[in-house]
Amino acid sequence: MTPAVAGVRLVNLTKRFGTTAAVHDFSLDVQQGELVCLLGPSGCGKTTTLRMIGGFIAPDAGDILIDNRSVLRLPPERRPTAMVFQRYNLWPHMMVADNIAFGLRLRHIPPAAIQRKVQETLDLVGLPQAGRKWPHQLSGGEQQRVAVARALVLEPKILLLDEPFSNLDARLRVRMREELKALQRQVGITTIFVTHDQEEALTLADRIAVMNRGIVEQVDTPAALYSRPQRLFVADFIGTMNFFSARYVRARGLLVSGGVGVAAVGDWPDGAAITVAVRPEDVTFAGEGQGIAGQARRVVNLGHYLEVVVDCPGLGSLKVFTDGRRAVAEGQALTLFMRHLLLYDEGVNIAEIGTPQFTRVPAQSVVEDAAGR
Amino acid sequence: MSAVGEAVRERTAGLFWFWSIGAFRRVLPVLFLVALAAFILGPLLSLILWAFAGQWFYPGLLPQEFSTKWWTVVFGNRSVVSSIKYSLMTAPTVTALSALICLPAAYAFARFRFPGRRLLLLSFLSANSFPKIGLYITIATLFYRLNLMTTFWGVVLIQLVGTLLFMIWIPTGTFRGINRSLEEAARDVGASGLRTFFQITLPIALPGLLVAGLFAFLAAFDEAQGTLIVGSPNYITMPVMMYTLVLNYPQPVGAVFSILLTLPSLVLLLLAQRLLRQGYLAAGYTL
C-alpha cells in the first residue's frame, strides 16, 4: 500500500499521562540511514516518543512500524532497536568489555566471535584500550562512547539516543556531536536522536521534528526549518527571531505597526492581527526605499559579528546582527531595512515577503481609515 | 600578632590560666582521644581480662593470676554447648528466611507504585516502635494454639520479627538508589526481566543487601526476650543462656561467654568490611 519504508514509521502515536496528552497524534517517517532529531523544550513529549519506540512505554493509540512491521507487541528486548540513555549508562559491576559483550552473550555467540566484535566496536568508537577498564575509570565522554558501542555491537536496525550528551561539558559535547555524526554516516544506521539543544539538532540531523506540548510543530531539514518556520512556535524556538505585531489595513494593502506600514497583499480580513517575524541577520542598516528610523540602544561585539539592539518607535526593540565593518555606537540614530519577513496569523505561517517596502503611516490616517469604514 | 596574643593571655588569665601553657594546649586533644578510646575499649579490655583471670582481688590493677580454667568450665557445660549449636542454627535460618520474604517486597516497594505503599512500608517500622515484650507475649498466646511454642520454627518466627525492619528498609533504599535506566539498558540489549534482575540489579545492590543481611543476622543472633518466651526450655540460644550464666556462675564465666557472643558479630563485621571495600564499590560507588 505504501512504498517500502526501511526505517521507522510512527502512525498517529498518542500517549496520555493522566489527563494530559504527553504525545498527541504523532506521525513520522524516518528513512533508512536517516538521522532524525526530535527537538523541543523539556516536557514536550520527545523522550516519551523515543521510549515508546524503544518499548519502555506502551502507546495509548497509534502504531510503530519498523521495516513495515508493527513492533507494538514486542517487549524492549525483542525490538530491533538499541538505546543510549542520558546518563547512568554503563553497568558499574562489569568491565567495559563485559558491558559491551552482555547483549552478545545473551545471543549465544561463540566467545571468540564475541571478543572480536567487542574489540572491533571499541576501535570504532575510538577506545581500543578501554576493554579491561571499569566504567568509573572512564571520563564522561568515554562512558558515553562505550554506551554507543554497547548499542552498536548488536547491529540494531534503529539507534535511539536520549539526550546522550547533555551531561557533558560544552566543548566535549561539540566534539562528541561531530564524532557521532561521522560514526552514523560510517555505519549508515537509522538514528533517532532526542535533544532540547537546537544547535545540536541543527548540526546533527538530516531532518528535525520540532515538538511542543506533545504535538509536532514541523518536520523539516535544518535549513528549511530555519528559513521557513511554518509556525510561530518554531520561529521562536529555532535561532533568534524578532517579532512585532501589526494590523492589516485591507483598503491600502498595508500591514501597519506603530507608524510603519509594510506593503502586503493577501486575502486577510481587514484589521486582522498579524505577527511579523524577521531574523536579526535579515535586518540591515543600508537599503533602498524608505527605511525605519531607530536608535541603537546596546551594541555587543561577539567577535565575528555585532549584535545591535535598536529601539524603533512604534515597533519596539529589534535585534540586528551585522558584520563589524560598519561601526555602530550606542545612542546612534539608524535607519533599518529588512530582507525577509515572515507573517503569522494565529501561530501559523501565512506568507513571506522577500523585499518589504516600507511607508511612513501617520497615526492619524489609520484612525481616519478606521473611522471611514 | 603579638598584640592579639597578649590580649588573649590577659583575658584567659583568670579561670583558664592553664590555657596559656603551650604544652597543655598540644596535649589536650591527645588526652581527649585517649579518654574516648578508654571509654570505648575499656569495658572490652576488662571483659578480656576477666575471661582469663584466675584470681583477681581488690586492689590489684591486673589479675593476680591468669588462667583458662573458666573456658573449660564454659565448654564443659553441655547446655552451653547446645546453646551455641541452637544459635548457629536459628540465626542463619532466620536471616535466609527474612531475605526470602523481604527482598522481593523491598524490590516492589522500590520499583512499583501501588495503593497503601507508604502505609505498608511504615508498618514494618511499627514492630520496632513498641516495647517488644508485649508483642512477644501476644504472639506467644497465638503460638500456643498453633503448637509452635518450644519448637525450632517458633523460635525462628519470633526472631524474624526483629529482622524485618532491616531487611525491608535498607534493601528498599538500595534498590531505589539503582537507576532504572541501568535495568532498561539491559532489557534493551535483549535480557528478560528476570535475567535483568539477577545479572544487573542484584549484583549492583549486593553491597546494600549484605549490610541488611548482616544487621538481620545480628538482630536474630542477639535476640533474647522473644526466644526466652517462645523457646525455653527446649531451645535455649546463647543470649538466653547468658542470663543463666550471669546469675548462677562466678563473674569470669559471664566474661568468657560474652566474648563468645561477640565473636560472630566481629567476624561478620570484618568480613563485610572486606567485601564492601572490594571491586567497584571502592571507586565511590556509594550505597
**Short-list A208, A220, A107, CA closest to A153:** A107
> CB A83 to CB B185 under 8 A?
yes
Encode pLDDT of A248-277 as tens digits. 888 888 888 877 888 887 788 888 888 889
Question: In the beta sheet, which residues pair with residue A244?
Answer: A276
Residue of B nearest to A103 (CA): B189
List the grid coordinates of B4.
Answer: 592579639
Give A227→chain B minimum CA distance, Å.
Answer: 38
What would the grid cell of residue A42 be? 523539556
* Apex A272 CA angle, A267 and A274, nearest 5: 95
d(CA A207, CA A8): 14
Pairing relation of β-strands A158-162 and A81-84? Answer: parallel
CA end-to-end distance (rounded Å), chain A: 55
What's the average model confidence in pLDDT over A231-237?
A: 90
pLDDT at A208 over 90: yes
CA–CA distance, B165 with B160 (Å, rounded to integer): 10
Chain centroid, CA A35 distance in Å: 12
The burial of A76, by beta-carbon neighbours within 10 Å (0-12 exposed, 13-18 middle, 19 or more buried), is given as buried
pLDDT of A221 over the 80 cut: yes
Nearest-by-CA chain B residue for A51: B184
For residue A245, the distance in angstroms to the closest alpha carbon of chain B comes to: 46
Cβ–Cβ gap A93/B203 under 8 Å:
yes
pLDDT tens, position by position, for chain B (287 residues)? Answer: 455 556 555 555 566 666 667 777 788 889 999 999 999 888 888 888 888 888 788 787 788 888 888 888 888 888 888 999 999 999 999 999 999 999 999 999 998 888 888 888 888 887 777 788 888 888 999 999 999 888 999 999 999 988 998 999 999 998 998 888 899 999 998 899 899 999 999 988 888 888 889 889 999 998 988 999 998 888 899 999 988 888 888 888 888 888 888 888 888 888 877 766 654 443 444 43
Which of A55, A87, A136 faces B283 most closely, judged by CB atoms? A136
Tell me if chain A has a CB within 8 Å of the CB of B185.
yes
Q: Which residues of A touch B190 (CB under 8 A)?
A: 77-78, 103, 106-107, 154
Helix, strand or coil, per DSSP, at residue A274: strand
Residue with C-alpha cell 559483550? Answer: A101
Helix (H, G, I), strand (E, B) or coil at A67: coil
Query: Would you tell me how many other CB atoms lie within 10 Å of the CB of residue A320?
Result: 26
Closest-CA residue to A309 (of A266, A282, A280, A268): A280
Rounded to the nearest angstrom, the minimum Cα separation between A48 and chain B is: 14
Residue A192 and residue B204: Cα distance in Å, rounded? Answer: 30
Q: Which residues contact A238 (CB under 8 A, 6 or more apart)?
A: A198, A202, A210, A225, A226, A229
Q: Does B203 sit within 8 Å of A137, measured CB to CB?
A: no
Residues of A with CB under 8 A from a CB of B: 54-56, 75-78, 81-83, 85-89, 91-93, 102-103, 106-107, 134, 136-137, 147, 150-151, 154
Query: Which of A209, A162, A211, A205 has its CA nearest to residue A40?
Result: A211
CA gyration radius, chain B: 26
The nearest CA of chain A is from the CA of B187 a distance in Å of: 5
In the block, which residue shows the cell 571495600? Answer: B277
Peptide bond preceding B171: is omega within 30 degrees of 0, i.e. cis?
A: no
C-alpha cell recorded at residue A358: 516600507
CA distance A202 to chain B (A): 27
Residues B148-205 pLDDT 10s = 888 999 999 999 988 998 999 999 998 998 888 899 999 998 899 899 999 999 988 8
Q: What is the pLDDT of residues A282-307, one digit of tens each?
A: 888 877 777 788 888 888 888 888 88
**For the segment B4-28, what is each residue's pLDDT rounded down to a tens digit?**
556 555 555 566 666 667 777 788 8
Please indicate if any CB of chain A lies within 8 Å of the CB of B99. no
Name the closest residue on chain A to residue B190, using Cα atoms.
A77
CB atoms within 10 A of CB B55: 10
Whether B186 and chain A come into contact, CB under 8 Å, resolves to yes
| Adjacent-strand bridge partners of A256 | A247, A261
Please name the member of A54, A87, A92 whose beta carbon is closest to the beta carbon of B204. A92
Predicted local distance difference test score (pLDDT) of residue B286: 41
| Subunit contact A88:B184, Cβ cutoff 8 A | no
Percentage, residues of chain B above pLDDT 70: 89
Chain A: give the shortest CA distance to residue B188, in Å: 5
Interchain proximity B188–A136, CB inside 8 Å: no
DSSP bridge partners of A162: A194
Please report the number of interchain residue pairs, chain A to chain B, with beta-carbon separation below 8 angstroms. Answer: 71
